[in-house]
Structure 1
Amino acid sequence: MTKRTLGVSVYPDHSNVDEDKAYLLKASQHGFSRIFMSMLEVSGGKEAVIEKYRDLISYAKKLGYTITLDVAPSIFDQLGISYQDLSFFSELGADGIRLDEGFDGRKEAMISYNQQQLNIELNMSNDVDYLNNILSYCANEPFIYGCHNFYPQRGTGLPLDFFNSCSRRFKEKGIQTAAFITSQVGKIGPWSINDGLPTLEMHRDLPIELQAKHLFATGLIDCVIIGNAYASDEELDRLGNLNRYQVTFDVKLCDCIHKVEKEILLDNQHVRRGDITNLVVRSTEVRKKYKAEKNPKNDCSHEFKRGDIVIGNDEFGKYKNELQIVLQAHSDERKNKVAEISDQELFLLDYITPWAKFKLEEI
């Protein structure tokens, strides 16, 4: 199982190198460790490209980043590079190249044995047997990675079910995976059209940390990369503080919540009970921990909707102080409503499976 990472993207042919360096420094301070660097467009000859990219990559390596260069066949032709000799990219300091376009499988497998031991990153955004074809030619599997596309044009990002199907093809083979989220302030990308740079269309207008929460919650993505540049300091901070290994819901507390309920809600590791119900997500361990604590019935409404968080009150017998997240609307005088999940995050409830761990954080 690969540890989960965060990445940023830079576009040296569309940006200023000093601004790129400042951005990479800030991102590294927030725990980012991977760079997606576009080489789909380059200007000038080979020497000019070497000078520009080597300087930036050298700086990034000092900060501890691993760097993948996004390349297209036209770049190989333009710079006179052979697929049989990837020393050009190695000399720049890159750790891998992403093949924006595929070949016949046999060629990718051969490239994965490159003498420079560069990682070869494959395009994940096609639901075809591309990966298996490459692996059938005895590819050098530890050097094969997967990365989805991003989609600058509004309305062209992947739908969720298609994304899941594409991603499983890689994840089931143990291949490291990556996908893109979009900053809501970044303006720089590879093309003139830039309506954001997410992989999933449903993410295009969501807060950046919610996009990342979702990708990690699917269990299909190891590295989440900000597609456009430059994300704001606040966005970098929110992503840096994100729990990459369990869903943490943002919740709004009710006015009538009291001290013990607040502690149950915010200061505990919650686990969904394994024998699940459709009515609620049950976090039952907390009721054992707080069984001696009184919890009177409160004056808030006891009519509950999806996303409400409730805790059993003194009238609930042995279930007193059990925390539940409402999945289906119902009413129950024996439960106190203490908080509610933000509307934007309700879809993440689909990922709270039997025995799933989750946390709750006050907005």
Structure 2
Amino acid sequence: MFGFSVFMNQDVTPSDLAQMEELAVSFDGMFTSMHIPEDDSTRYRERLGVIGAFAKRHQLSLMVDISGNALTEAGFSIDRLEELIDLGVTGLRMDYAIDNQQIAQFSKQMRIALNASTLTEKDVQELQTYGADFTQLEAWHNYYPRPETGLAEEWLQAKNRWLKEQGFYVQAFVPGDDRLRGPMYAGLPTLEDHRGMTPFAAALALQETGTVDAIYIGDGGLTRQSIQQFNDYMQQNLITLRVKAVGSAYLDTVIGLHQNRQDEARDVLRSADARFGDVSFVKPEARMPRPIGAVTIDNQAYERYMGEIQVCKNALPADPRVNVAAQVIAADLPLIQHIHAGMRFKIERDDSNE
């Protein structure tokens, strides 16, 4: 599942609610935090009420990162979790200062997220001893605001395999690309490799590991382009590749919906039906090298292959029989590797300033 974050450092504005409505189309969960040092925690209760009401209205889960002190400062009590449940909170991510005996008790009332990165065999044994309801326990990784402090992928994979062996539902964060969280404004990923990557590309990369059950946007905002990519994927099961013009007369020909052939090629995505479409004649254009992300159309020199549309997965040399019609923008290049046999993809013009 995919989820998004809404932070309580300021009142939820009509603009915030409008984006939340867009995200609720394809996302199933929300996350917020109650213990960020630079926030005014005295406003948390009111703001959590707004966020919780939205979650209930749209049937979204709502996980709240807490500490005992933050709950108290916001006017709640860790001994009265029903107050949070009534507001729409469906789960709590526990701070390290809350002991395993308390966590075991809380797990009998609602879903509880533990720190996936620091959870140990000793913790699991203690939770079992204290009678925790393991069907209510999840393992959530941190996000890392400071550059160079995110996790390594190999470490994450090894940790997740262990967590899955213990029966945990596992979550991780990817960065947003709008309204990045301060004070670093450097994205909020779990993996350092994902810092600076587009949210959708990072989410697909995590999903393909097979060891992460839930993927949340760490930052509080997504650009309209990213929201559309998530919606296309979740609602239509297709991956959108944004392209820029390279001077070809055949740009409009390659724009649109495609399906990768079932016999997946090593070097290119092959549009399954492209050369059987309406293209009656493709003139040769100037030879151009085919870097990764080059969108090509075969010209008349390729005879019966004329009109075939491809996207390069690997860099290929110039070929007089192949016209380069467009180029996938740099931000979307990582998406190409996630388009497998039989998958649908869409090529569309990039409307950003890249």
The TM tier, using the shorter chain, reads: 0.7 to 0.9
Q: For the residues of structure 2 that align with 1:44 and 1:306, how far apart are their CA atoms?
A: 48
Match of 2:334, SS state, is helix
Post-superposition Cα deviations, 1:150-202, rounded to whole Å, max 9, x if no partner, equal 111122122344344445556786836342323443345xxx55543222323
1:316 aligns with 2:307: no
1:95 aligns with 2:90: yes
Alpha-carbon contact 2:3-2:28 (below 8 Å) kept: yes
Match of 2:282, SS state, is coil
Q: For the residues of structure 2 that align with 1:53 and 1:346, how far apart are their CA atoms?
A: 38
Match of 2:194 among 195, 203, 208: 203
Q: For the residues of structure 2 that align with 1:71 and 1:126, how far apart are their CA atoms?
A: 16
Q: Identify the residue that residue 293 of structure 2 maps to in structure 1.
A: 307
Q: Identify the residue that residue 315 of structure 2 maps to in structure 1.
A: 328
Match of 2:329 among 342, 352, 360: 342
Cα distance change, pair 360–22 in 1 and its aligned pair in 2 (3 A)? closer
Q: Identify the residue that residue 240 of structure 2 maps to in structure 1.
A: 248
Match of 2:248, SS state, is coil
Q: For the residues of structure 1 that align with 2:308 and 2:123, how far apart are their CA atoms?
A: 46
What amino acid maps onto 1:28 in structure 2? E
CA RMSD of aligned residues (A): 4.1
Alpha-carbon contact 1:152-1:198 (below 8 Å) kept: yes
Alpha-carbon contact 1:184-1:207 (below 8 Å) kept: no
The count of residues paired between Structure 1 and Structure 2 equals 339
1:23 aligns with 2:16: yes
Q: Identify the residue that residue 10 of structure 1 maps to in structure 2.
A: 7
Between the two proteins, what is the percent identity of the paired residues? 22
Alpha-carbon contact 1:246-1:357 (below 8 Å) kept: yes
Cα offset for 1:38? 0.9
Q: What does residue range 116-155 of structure 1 map to in structure 2 within 5 Å? A: 116=109, 118-125=110-117, 140=133, 142-155=135-148
Q: Which runs of 5+ in 1 are unaligned?
A: none
Cα distance change, pair 178–200 in 1 and its aligned pair in 2 (3 A)? closer
Cα distance change, pair 159–108 in 1 and its aligned pair in 2 (3 A)? same
What amino acid maps onto 1:181 in structure 2? P
Cα distance change, pair 284–164 in 1 and its aligned pair in 2 (3 A)? same
Q: Identify the residue that residue 359 of structure 1 maps to in structure 2.
A: 346
TM-score under structure 2 length normalisation: 0.74
Alpha-carbon contact 1:314-1:320 (below 8 Å) kept: yes
Q: For the residues of structure 2 that align with 1:39 and 1:27, how far apart are their CA atoms?
A: 19
Cα distance change, pair 64–316 in 1 and its aligned pair in 2 (3 A)? same
Match of 1:301, SS state, is coil
What amino acid maps onto 2:195 in structure 1? R
Cα offset for 1:97? 1.0
Q: What does residue range 162-201 of structure 1 map to in structure 2 within 5 Å? A: 162-167=155-160, 175=169, 177-188=171-182, 194-201=185-192
Cα offset for 1:51? 5.7
Q: Identify the residue that residue 216 of structure 2 maps to in structure 1.
A: 225
Q: For the residues of structure 2 that align with 1:52 and 1:253, how far apart are their CA atoms?
A: 45
Q: For the residues of structure 1 that align with 2:328 and 2:232, how far apart are their CA atoms?
A: 17
Alpha-carbon contact 2:201-2:334 (below 8 Å) kept: no
Q: For the residues of structure 2 that align with 1:320 and 1:200, how far apart are their CA atoms?
A: 43
Residues 333-342 or 240-249, more deviating:
240-249
Residues 219-228 or 332-341, more deviating:
219-228
Q: For the residues of structure 2 that align with 1:133 and 1:295, how far apart are their CA atoms?
A: 69
Residues 171-180 or 142-151, more deviating:
171-180
Alpha-carbon contact 1:213-1:247 (below 8 Å) kept: no
Cα offset for 1:70? 0.8
Alpha-carbon contact 1:96-1:119 (below 8 Å) kept: yes
Alpha-carbon contact 1:127-1:162 (below 8 Å) kept: no
Match of 1:61, SS state, is helix
Cα distance change, pair 134–325 in 1 and its aligned pair in 2 (3 A)? farther
Alpha-carbon contact 2:181-2:188 (below 8 Å) kept: no
Cα offset for 1:120? 2.0
Alpha-carbon contact 1:209-1:235 (below 8 Å) kept: no
Cα distance change, pair 330–135 in 1 and its aligned pair in 2 (3 A)? farther
Residues 144-153 or 216-225, more deviating:
216-225
TM-score under structure 1 length normalisation: 0.72
Q: Which runs of 5+ in 2 are unaligned?
A: none
What amino acid maps onto 2:169 in structure 1? I
